[in-house]
Amino acid sequence: MKIALAQINTRIGDFEENTRRICEYIERSKRDGADIIVFPELIVCGYPPLDFLEFEDFINRCNTAVEEIAKSCIGIAAIVGSPNTNPKSEGKNLFNAAFFLADGKTHQVVHKTLLPTYDVFDEYRYFEPNQNLFKCIDYKGVRIALTICEDLWDIEEDKMYTNWPMEELIGQKPDVIINIAASPFSDGHEHSRKRVLHKASQTYKLPLFYVNHVGAQTELIFDGGSMVLNREGNIVCEMDYFKEDFRVFDLDWVKTAKSVTYAAASSFISEDSSIERIHSALILGIRDYFRKLGFKKAILGLSGGIDSALVYTLAIEALGNENVVGVMMPSHYSSDHSISDSEKLAKNLNGITKLIPIKPSFDSLLESIGPNFDHQKPDVTEENIQARIRGLILMALSNKDGYILLNTSNKSEAAVGYGTLYGDMCGGLSVIGDVYKTRAYELARYINRDREVIPENIITKAPSAELRPDQKDSDSLPEYDILDQVLYNYIELRKGPEDLLEMGFDKALVSRVLRLVNLNEYKRHQTPPILRVTPKAFGLGRRMPIVAKYLS
Amino acid sequence: MKIALAQINTRIGDFEENTRRICEYIERSKRDGADIIVFPELIVCGYPPLDFLEFEDFINRCNTAVEEIAKSCIGIAAIVGSPNTNPKSEGKNLFNAAFFLADGKTHQVVHKTLLPTYDVFDEYRYFEPNQNLFKCIDYKGVRIALTICEDLWDIEEDKMYTNWPMEELIGQKPDVIINIAASPFSDGHEHSRKRVLHKASQTYKLPLFYVNHVGAQTELIFDGGSMVLNREGNIVCEMDYFKEDFRVFDLDWVKTAKSVTYAAASSFISEDSSIERIHSALILGIRDYFRKLGFKKAILGLSGGIDSALVYTLAIEALGNENVVGVMMPSHYSSDHSISDSEKLAKNLNGITKLIPIKPSFDSLLESIGPNFDHQKPDVTEENIQARIRGLILMALSNKDGYILLNTSNKSEAAVGYGTLYGDMCGGLSVIGDVYKTRAYELARYINRDREVIPENIITKAPSAELRPDQKDSDSLPEYDILDQVLYNYIELRKGPEDLLEMGFDKALVSRVLRLVNLNEYKRHQTPPILRVTPKAFGLGRRMPIVAKYLS
């Protein structure tokens, strides 16, 4: 038996195009002699469809699409993920389902048992878990244990669920496990994924076919990396990362193949290339955001600092240098190098820049507002006015020419609220809002691995917002190497103040940083979607009260 | 037996203060001769604690607080809601629990069975459902069926769950049902609540004590309205709405009491006062947002239109006229009545206003940016610049004087994206972002019920953004009475395009409105939290992809 895996990139709710592409791959795998073609979880509507699942019309369109796809399944079977209506009056209205299509119709439907409801996942919001119906699929003499993503995941020590679908299926003596997934990228996640799939395959002594989504859906970046494991749990093929891919496998070959006999050609991911993967993820994140929204051009402010230099570079890699405009907006506090460094960067990339000084607008606004300041001395208000004039200018250019404004805040700043709402926090997409400042430097070094793209001075100078004379980030914040460690432990690992003290961090510093993180929830509530590259990004996967008193 | 209900308003994560107040009420109910005092769901940490529940330190503080509260329970029992750690390695780490405290310690713990995971609720994100442990509590010869909020709710026809805790408990022949809840206000929800409680009490022929949270937690407004029902399911006491309340009841009296023998004194809610309830909810929402964040003063733009007039009035009602500043910021397109109407409003309320014309700033900014516009003719860009200058001015005043900026967008505008990001969409809190435009007029009429507070001209003139000459909302949008009907059916009722056509709406209009709603998800992603007064508000309870193609 030949099994094809189609790791494709679909758009949420684009039923016509998604169906067309699925059918195209079905035809292709027929030509390649495949018996079954396997598509990812909820591929028909795109993942995650979120509350569109609550619209009956949306579900009707899913069903129509599945019927349409089934018609292509003559002489071949296809497995596609799509929601399925719960016929009972008890429980949620839908199941997260895998449709096994053959002979022009739905042959069998499998419902997902384990519904991830944590971090960015909300599946129990929409779906009823399968509880009692565990039935392998028999097709052309092969018995398939068909599972959906999380259904294979609860194999670790600390189980999140109280049941375990493979234990139910294994009694029916399947020949192969197929798993259809929508597993988004985060730094290090592919190791967990391999560990889990290895353990499942090894435990049940079965070959395993795993097909994952690829492509970005707003903040979530699906990295692909579909794979096939032999009966000993060894990976015999790892498909492309951050790209569409399609492969056909002979099941008999897979059963006996030893370790990795061939790997994805162009983008095989080595074990120690975390920065490389984050880089690829961000590029895909930017590219799909624009492409799927129907936009081509980006704009951003160029301050002369590391963050904007990095986003400018990433945007040019993703969209092309003719499609990215960097705007330099010096104030009376801007250093000379804020311009010269940005110009050098643009020159290295053959990129477009514009220069719009903000002093005249600042003076004019201050003249209008100043009389209401009641002779109070300058403070953060005047700093914010500068940042907001820049935001206003960028949005004006964005509106006039149909650009999307890219936000350049990093995760460290976003965490402690070191940024101006409606100023440098503007934008349609936050590119590096899940990248700590120290990681931003690593990314810059990685980008410069072959030649100087980001000027050395941008990397080595002390970070500054340049909103008052001789300002440095370190005037207001701890050094970033310390700050980032505290943030990582608090945000990613959910350590409490006592844990952090035990780890040797300074008490006053810990208390200040945690307080800043919690107090600035109101700012993060209004930020653009942030491309997620860590296991705990701000946004969809981290839900915090704005009005609260804990550690603040 | 005497049972006290304590409908109190706590702050999320404020363990010290929450514990102090709970203990204060325990002492008070001892003095009043109560045998048991009942507090709402998760009262110890506040509701909803969201992802704070994932912090071990947060859970430790909950446990310490419960131990502290238990010590006060000498000669009285108390029921408090707090998370409880799951001792098993399978399943989620926590239960949503009710602690029955007596004799200075935890006497028994009940775990919530039905975990609401829809709209604004994410309980399965954090909690393991109780599956097998159903045990009534015996105290002083009375057998109590103790349930937590949703545990009583699945009594309707279309069941969302597959099990039903009262069916398990009733076999143990309880004498009374107690339900501790965190049920937020939305228009009409108190009717569902009464229907459900009535049905539960009537079905099991038991008296029922229901205690709910009161107070606003960012966007959620808990309305209180705790109540007691006799064995026939009739309400014998309805406690205050939108206010703290405390009552002690004799169980024997409750059993035999007929219908409503006394009602909440000051704020008893009649059946046809939906606008009155929304009004009370918004006032509480504003007041608690400021109080719990430690702020006193609000600022907002006064355009001369209905929305800003309404928010100004509500803010003054909530915070006092000395604490609210309305800023008039006329442009070259502003009508004379935009100022005169606002001034009249301020005079009616004895409120504070400021006047800051934006023309000089607009001219200066246009001079700086204009050369980049490449001789394109004026369009929405110039309109947005005006709105953003206003946002900038308001934020500057807010920064300088420690005001919170109130956002004045209504739900109709927010739905179709008729507003400027970083302009009139700025603010710390959206007061009427869940109030359709047509409802905003009703609210204004309600506010004017005794005397003209909001000038008649503000209510009767045609809505306009005044961002270009002679602009009217109706130039870009359908008339609000039609628009709001389409929006209500799409947003609240999740009707699809075909349903809407069947209802008689125009095809082009439906298609345009639905498209606008979906396309503007990116704007709503960056709006301030919106006080929730309908069953489906933008924000926490409505999660939509930004990048998608459905109906757009």
DSSP B175: S
Strands B77-85 and B36-38, by their bridges, are parallel
Distance from CA of B491 to the nearest CA of A (A): 10
N residues, chain B: 552
B41 is catalytic: yes
Contact B321, B313 (CB under 8 A): no
Distance from CA of B233 to the nearest CA of A (A): 25
> What is the structure's pLDDT at A267?
41
Distance CA A298, CA A312 (A): 9
> What is the structure's pLDDT at B469?
87
Question: Counting Cβ atoms within 10 Å, is residue B50 exposed (0-12), middle (13-18) or buried (19+)?
Answer: buried
ipTM higher than 0.85? yes
Cis peptide bond upstream of B478, omega within 30: no
Each residue's pLDDT expressed in tens, for chain A with a length of 552 residues = 999 999 999 999 999 999 999 999 999 999 999 999 999 999 999 999 999 999 999 999 999 999 999 999 999 999 999 999 999 989 999 999 999 999 999 999 999 999 999 999 999 999 999 998 999 999 999 999 999 999 998 777 778 998 889 999 999 999 999 999 999 999 999 889 999 999 999 999 999 999 999 999 999 999 999 999 999 999 999 999 999 999 999 999 998 887 764 444 334 445 458 999 999 999 999 999 999 999 999 999 999 999 999 999 999 999 999 999 999 999 988 888 899 999 999 999 999 999 999 999 999 999 999 999 977 889 999 999 999 999 999 999 999 999 999 999 999 999 999 999 999 999 999 999 999 999 999 999 999 999 999 999 999 999 998 888 888 888 889 999 999 999 999 999 999 999 999 999 999 999 999 999 999 999 999 999 999 999 999 999 999 999 999 988
> What number of helices (H) and strands (E) belong to chain B?
19, 20
Distance from CA of A385 to the nearest CA of B (A): 7
> What is the structure's pLDDT at B266?
39
> What is the structure's pLDDT at B272?
56
Distance CA A92, CA B162 (A): 9
Question: Counting Cβ atoms within 10 Å, is residue A173 exposed (0-12), middle (13-18) or buried (19+)?
Answer: exposed
Distance CA A316, CA B547 (A): 21
> What is the structure's pLDDT at B476?
85
Q: Please give the structure tokens belonging to residue B408.
A: 């004045």
Closest C-alpha among A44, A41, A3 to residue A180: A41
Contact B53, B59 (CB under 8 A): yes
Q: Among all residues of A, which ones are annotated catalytic?
A: 41, 112, 149
In angstroms, the Cα distances linking B240 to A316, B33, B213 are 60, 22, 11
Distance CA A208, CA A213 (A): 17
Strands (E), A112-174: 137-139, 142-148
Nearest to B50 among A55, A422, A543 (CB): A543
pLDDT tens digits for range B111-165: 999 999 999 999 999 999 999 899 999 999 999 999 999 999 877 777 899 888 9
Superfamily designation of domain A2-269: Carbon-nitrogen hydrolase (3.60.110.10)
Nearest to A51 among B157, B528, B543 (CB): B543
Q: Determine, for residues A389 and B391 on separate chains, whether the beta-carbon distance falls below 8 Å.
A: no
In angstroms, the Cα distances linking B306 to B170, B324, B407, B462, B541 are 53, 17, 13, 10, 27
**What part of A 63-102 touches B (C-beta under 8 Å)?**
89-92
pLDDT tens digits for range A532-545: 999 999 999 999 99
Q: Which fold has domain B276-473?
A: Rossmann fold (3.40.50)
The CA angle A445-A447-A451, to the nearest 5 degrees, is 90
φ and ψ at A87, to 5 degrees?
Answer: -75, -15
Of the candidates B45, B73, B136, B149, the residue annotated as catalytic is B149
Closest C-alpha among A236, A153, A228, A241 to residue A193: A153
CA dihedral (A318, A322, A324, A327) positive or negative: positive
Distance CA A192, CA A423 (A): 39
Q: Please give the structure tokens belonging to residue A544.
A: 């915090």
- Whole-model pTM: value is 0.96
> What is the structure's pLDDT at A264?
40
Residues of chain B contacting residue A301, judged by C-beta atoms under 8 Å apart: none
DSSP B150: G
Token match 């926590």: residue? B94
Q: CB contact, 8 Å: A428 with chain B? A: yes
Residues of chain A contacting residue B17, judged by C-beta atoms under 8 Å apart: 549
Residues of chain A contacting residue B388, judged by C-beta atoms under 8 Å apart: 391-392, 395-396, 422
DSSP A239: -
Q: Which fold has domain A279-473?
A: Rossmann fold (3.40.50)
Q: Determine, for residues A400 and B388 on separate chains, whether the beta-carbon distance falls below 8 Å.
A: no
φ and ψ at B24, to 5 degrees?
Answer: -60, -45
Strands A105-111 and A137-139, by their bridges, are unpaired
**Interface probe with B: pick from A355, A358, A361, A405, most Cβ of B within 10 Å:** A361
Q: To which H or E segment does residue A404 belong?
A: strand A404-407
| Stretches in chain B below the pLDDT threshold 70 | 259-272
Q: For residue A90, count other CB atoms closer than 10 A to its CB.
A: 14
Strands (E), B283-397: 298-301, 324-328, 352-355
Helix, strand, coil fractions of chain A, as percent rounded to 5? 40, 20, 40
Distance CA A249, CA A37 (A): 10
Token match 């940490």: residue? B45
Contact B326, B351 (CB under 8 A): yes
> What is the structure's pLDDT at B474?
87
Domain chopping of chain B, boundaries: 2-269, 276-473
Distance CA A224, CA A284 (A): 12
What's the mean per-residue pLDDT of chain A? Answer: 94
Q: CB contact, 8 Å: A284 with chain B? A: no
Contact B3, B36 (CB under 8 A): yes
Token match 């939305």: residue? B186
